[in-house]
Amino acid sequence: MLYRTAGQFKTSYAADHALFPVRQDAWLLGVILLFAFVIFPLTASEFTFKALLTPVLVYSLAALGLNILTGYAGQLSLGTGAFMGVGAYACFKLITIFPEMNVLVAILASGFFSAAVGVAFGLPSLRIKGFYLAIATLAAQFFLVWLFEKWAWLCNYSSSGSIQVPTVEMFGTPVFGPNALAIVQYYFVLGVVALITIAAINITRGRIGRMWKAVRDMDIAAELVGINLMKAKLSAFAVSSYVVGVAGALFVFLWRGAAEPVAFDIALSFRVLFIAIIGGLGSVLGNFLGAILIVALPVILNTLPATFGIPISSAMVEHLNTMIVGALIIAILVIEPHGLARFWQIIREKLIMWPFPH
């Protein structure tokens, strides 16, 4: 009923390829954006901002970056955590060396550093494929984290070896550091994520995106029809690492407030990979759905026993939580290997047909 497409005629190719060929999709997105931009900020508590909303957005962005590489260009990477680290350390050095730099510029510029590192570690992808490439990206993961630990210049020789976010203002309001309000940080993150998401949607729909997809589906065939493999693969690494690097800067500067090298450990890479796969490879929407499931669900599960007065120790909750997340991953993969994004597609198709299926 709600999703009836009858009456919406396309009279040109451009209209058929528009972002929202179905009007209801645009409305739905509008409602979601209304929630994200108006309703959540009005109602959320500081805990909700800090433990749910901001991390979900940051992780979605990181997963989006990985998804560009893995879902669109077909290059499996397990080094996401370290690339996030490059972004975070670059941002830290930028704002400590140039304190008067605008924070938005610093965040967006830090992505270029991770993009450069990403391309360097992406070079082997020209020769190595599949799982071999995945393990090769692990070399980046372990080497970079070791470098963060050893290279004291990166953290300005702080005695603890970790980076601390100083208070930095933008237009007179603190955005980084302990004095920044959670709501300001949320809006900042939301803005950056929205911006990059729009860019990502358009890149993946355009010429470059189709080039990536061709390489993903079969790289030799792609080469035969005249796609420059080197250009395609390296551009995927560059764009993906850029997005991941920005996510890493947001991760430390607008959410965590401090980070030691171990924060960018392999566990972070896996977490982002979960989100991308559970959400659905090769989909932008999936990253957000995946992040909600992987990041927000455990937080909510943690609060459940207390809310319902179920007496259970916090350690037990944590054990159960790990088990539930593990079981959920298996369950979702078994039910729908293409992830949550495909789920939504199925629901949408059903809605369009409803109430008269064939």
Partner 1 sequence: MKRLRTNLLLPAALAAACMLSAAPAMSEDSVSLPNLSYRTGPFAATGIPLMNGQRDYMTMLNERDGGVNGVKLGYEECETGYSTEKGVECYEKTKATGIITQPWSTGITLQVLPKSNVDKIPILAPGYGFSPMADGKVFHWAFNMPASYWDGASMILKNISDGNLDNLKGKKIVLLHLDHPYGKEPIPLLEVLAEKHGFTLLPIPVGLKEMQNQSAQWLQIRREKPDFVVMWGWGAMNAGALTEAAKTKFPMDKFVGIWWSGHDGDMASVGEAGKGYRSISWSVPVSDSPVMQDIKKYVLDPKKTEIGEGEFDWVFYQRGVLISMFTVEGIKAAQEHFDTKVVTAEQLRWGLENLKIDDAKLAEIGMTGMIAPFSTSCANHAGHAGGWMLEWDGAKFVKVSDLLQADESVIEPLVEAEAKKYAEANAPWPINEDCKM
Partner 2 sequence: MDFLNSVFVKPFADMVAAPDFLLQVLWEGLVAGVLYALIALGFVLIYKSSRIFNFAQGIMVVFAALTLVGLHEKGVPALLALPLTLLVMYLLAVAVERVVLRPLINQPDMILFMATIGITLFLIGFGEIIFGGENKVMITEALYIPTGSFEFEPFGGFLLIEQKDLTAVVGAGVLVAVLLLFLNKSRIGRAIRALGDDHQAALSVGISLSTIWVIVWFIAGVIALATGIVWGARAGVSFALEVIAYKALPVLMLGGLESVTGAIVGGLAIGILEKLFEIYWGQPLLGGNTESWFAFVLALIVLLFRPQGLFGERIIERV
Concatenated DSSP letters for 83-125?
HHHHHHHHHHHHHHHSTTS-HHHHHHHHHHHHHHHHHHHHGGG
- Report the residue from 7, 330, 356, 357 that binds partner 2 according to the rule CB under 8 A: 330
Q: How far is the CB of 327 from partner 1 (least distance, A)?
A: 17
Three-class DSSP category at 78:
coil
Q: How wide is the angle at C-alpha 122 spanned by C-alphas 59 and 89, nearest 5°?
A: 50
Q: Which position among 239, 275, 281, 341 is part of the footprint of partner 2 (CB under 8 A)?
A: 281
Least separation in angstroms between CB 263 and partner 1:
6
- Does residue number 232 form part of the binding site for partner 2 (CB under 8 A)? no
Verify binding: residue 131, partner 2, rule CB under 8 A: yes
Tell me how long the chain is. Answer: 358
Among 56, 58, 136, 211, interactor with partner 2 by CB under 8 A: 136
Beta-carbon count within 10 A of 321 CB: 15
Rounded to the nearest 10°, the torsion over CA 310, 314, 316, 318 is 120
Size of the site for partner 2 (CB under 8 A): 47
* Phi and psi torsions of 75, nearest 5°: -105, 110
310 binds partner 2 (CB under 8 A): no
Stretch that binds partner 2, among 22-30, 32-40, 186-194, 327-335 (CB under 8 A): 327-335
Alpha-carbon distance of 252 to 193, in angstroms, equals 15
> What are 103's two structure tokens?
């924070």
Closest CA to 73 of 231, 226, 291, 310: 231
Closer by beta carbon to partner 2, 154 or else 246: 154
Amino acid at 28: L
CA 224: distance to chain centroid? 32
Longest dimension (CA), the chain: 69
Q: Using CB under 8 A, pick the residue from 34, 303, 323, 337 that binds partner 1.
A: 303
The answer to whether residue 298 forms part of the interface with partner 2 (CB under 8 A) is: no
Return the residues of window 166-225 that contact partner 2 according to CB under 8 A.
Answer: 218, 220-221, 224
Q: How far apart are CA 247 and CA 262, in angstroms?
A: 17
Interface map 12-51 toward partner 2 (x if CB under 8 A): ----------------------------------------
Q: Which residues bind partner 2 (CB under 8 A)?
A: 70, 76, 124, 127-132, 135-136, 138-139, 142-143, 145-146, 149-150, 218, 220-221, 224, 266, 270, 273-274, 277-278, 281, 315-316, 319-330, 333-334, 337
Q: Which residues bind partner 1 (CB under 8 A)?
A: 45-47, 50-51, 96, 146, 149, 156, 158-162, 164-167, 177-179, 255-260, 262-263, 265, 299, 302-303, 311-319, 322
